[in-house]
Structure 1
């Protein structure tokens, strides 16, 4: 007898799950299906799982395809299960190609090709709570988004559009997406939500078109380059009862939320200054590098958002100085100083330059320090005059922050507005205002 084993979460069981189980069963005579436990899903960063392990196990049983169902409770269990049950074949979807090659020491490993589009009808079915996502832009972020979406229950990235049709087709082929559209309107007619990652000066148009077609939006920051445009888009989303999420990934991670809450709680006294640095040695990591003002504004979004969360939006003055070099060794370094009635913030951003990317929040009683890279917010510590009062905090961060913003999108589409406090529409408007202020007030110095 040839024994086959496969594993999965099987949340909100749909036709795609069924087809995968049918193909796994066809590889042998006896099929064992491992269903992840609730605690294991949490430990491996699987977000937004909507059904309990018992419900998910029952859904697998009802198919009649599994001869045996077991609970997967910890990392490494697959090896022990394979040995204990004398498994001949381990089968898993092709979106995990290479991930489980280590099991070849114990049995055959088969990656099952996905049947593209097979579950499209049911994925679009709102009763399942699973939403079909289209990528707007097939650039460097796209593959990471598809990878991270695996860990978020309630969404499925199915399609892509890009102004470069060949690039979109290549991404769809590489990542096994159902469709690559050459017409943006056609994409919008076939998805529930889009992830917009086009250049900043194009986003307002792409976002507006999506909202006008009744499609939810998650977009790279900033949403637009002006306060007025952002106000218009947030108003349109509200009027159409649609979700518009600004993808400042840090905003949605547990560690960042807890760090902000700790700093604002009075634990270090009244906050008097914030200093944040975000630099990258590569000079081509954002879209608008040909325009120093735009580049500085885009880079500054993450630290500026952090300043707003710590000090609020009632700043009294903003000044920006940009130092641009090139063309032999192109780089950009910008310092943004933001004044408040009782506090001061200094943000430093750069491309083609490497600084210590840390965050320091100074209070009247102590300091909160987040080491580089502070935007991952996995570790922060407090420092006081009495060293016995010092504390270190560690927060788990699973994979890339993309999964947290995708989970936010899914949660808000389902109608749970309680998480909107993480990044509110008024935050997006204020960020756009600061982006606009940076672009208008920047003093640029050039060096050869």
Structure 2
């Protein structure tokens, strides 16, 4: 798999909306191609393959995992199936990029990480935010002391459906609720900057099915003297912004903080400084690959870079960081009383 000119051959496991977006973005990334797709039904896999010009389509996951011409598999199932799908691929010797939330709980995440490390295979959570060059520039500024010591992080991600009782977001067996689908973004954003918190408080509005419709979180870092106020919702359209306040300044992200094209640095005695994707040499927030893309190419490029370098973990999205986020999400669910059948 190593070699700077090696074409990275992808398999896509699942055929939903995020799988389609991922495949569309990957088509414009040099040196990578989708060579196979799998779904639980051959009909769905074939339709997806025809839509994107993919040469092979499989009606079961195991066939994709056994395909010798696939280097790495992108797991795009609902997160309730992440552990099963990713483990199947790892056991077959495939490298894996797994969608977020990484798994349903920290125990499942630990099992996947152990399996990948034992087999010497690449595994990464598809936290595209961490690979975004605008976010990477922000972390550089923060670590260089541009805003001093962090005191607060605020972030929110809320949408309205409506999501009826039969929707997957209302089903505990599928890991339903706002937290794993949306809350993972503000939690990951805060932990990118501060690491794993030592204090977790939370409050939530629960559905009749027992999943969270709206969750507010207060995370604390005793040693750093910092806190994070985070919100996620599937019943309220929040601003979807974030702000980091330090002892010497503040950084504000506009709506869409999880795939940003700009942020503004505020410091006393200075005019506001705007940092943009264009200013960092990216076009349309997509690494120069074209206008209107969502930026999934950043995480795709990081996977390809790591595989060509023979790395089994990404320094941008380290596995220990993904495990820490899952522990925080577990702690939040414990506080608000949300349990999934897989937790037993």
Residue 263 of structure 1 aligns to a residue whose secondary structure is helix
Q: Within 1, Cα distance between the matches of 2:251 and 2:3?
A: 44
* Aligned twin of 2:289: none
Please point out which of 9, 30, 52 is paired with 1:132. 9
Is 1:438 aligned to 2:332, yes or no?
yes
| Corresponding residue SS for 2:325 | helix
- The yes-or-no answer on 1:309 pairing with 2:192 is yes
Match of 2:58 in 1: 181
Change (3 A) 1:211 1:309: same
TM superposition shift of 1:125: 11
* Post-superposition offset of 1:126: 7.4
231, 243, 251: which is aligned to 1:368? 251
Aligned to 1:37: none
Secondary structure at 1:334's aligned position in 2?
strand
- Summarize the alignment of residues 17-56 of structure 1 with structure 2, pairs less than 5 Å apart: none
Render the CA deviation track for 1:52-110: whole Å, top value 9, x for unaligned.
xxxxxxxxxxxxxxxxxxxxxxxxxxxxxxxxxxxxxxxxxxxxxxxxxxxxxxxxxxx
Q: Are 1:143 and 2:20 counterparts?
A: yes
The 3-state SS of whatever aligns with 2:177 is helix
Question: Mind listing any 5+ residue stretches in structure 1 that lack a counterpart?
Answer: 1-123
**1:420 Cα deviation after fit:** 2.0
Are residue 352 (structure 1) and residue 246 (structure 2) matched?
no
Change (3 A) 1:236 1:325: closer
- Residue 199 of structure 1 corresponds to 78
CA contact (8 A) 2:120 2:312 kept: no
CA apart distance, 1:153: 2.3
Question: How far is 1:217 from its partner?
Answer: 0.4
Match of 2:316 in 1: 422
CA RMSD after TM alignment: 2.6
TM-score (norm 1): 0.66
* Secondary structure in 2 matching 1:173: helix
**Residue 202 of structure 2 corresponds to which residue in structure 1?**
320
Q: 1:228 to 1:324 in 2, by over 3 A?
A: closer
Q: Aligned residue pairs: how many?
A: 317
Partner-residue secondary structure (3-state), 1:186: helix
Counterpart for residue 237 of structure 1: 116
Q: Distance in 1 between matches of 2:126 and 2:175?
A: 21
Note if 1:222 corresponds to 2:101: yes
Quote the Cα distance in structure 2 between the aligned partners of 1:166 and 1:375.
34
Residue pair 1:293, 1:442 contacting (<8 A) in 2 also? no
Deviates more, 1:293-302 or 1:273-282: 293-302
- In structure 2, how many angstroms separate the alpha carbons of the residues matched to 1:128 and 1:218? 21
Contact 1:272-1:363 at 8 Å conserved across structures: yes
Unpaired runs of 5+ residues, structure 2, are: 287-292, 339-344
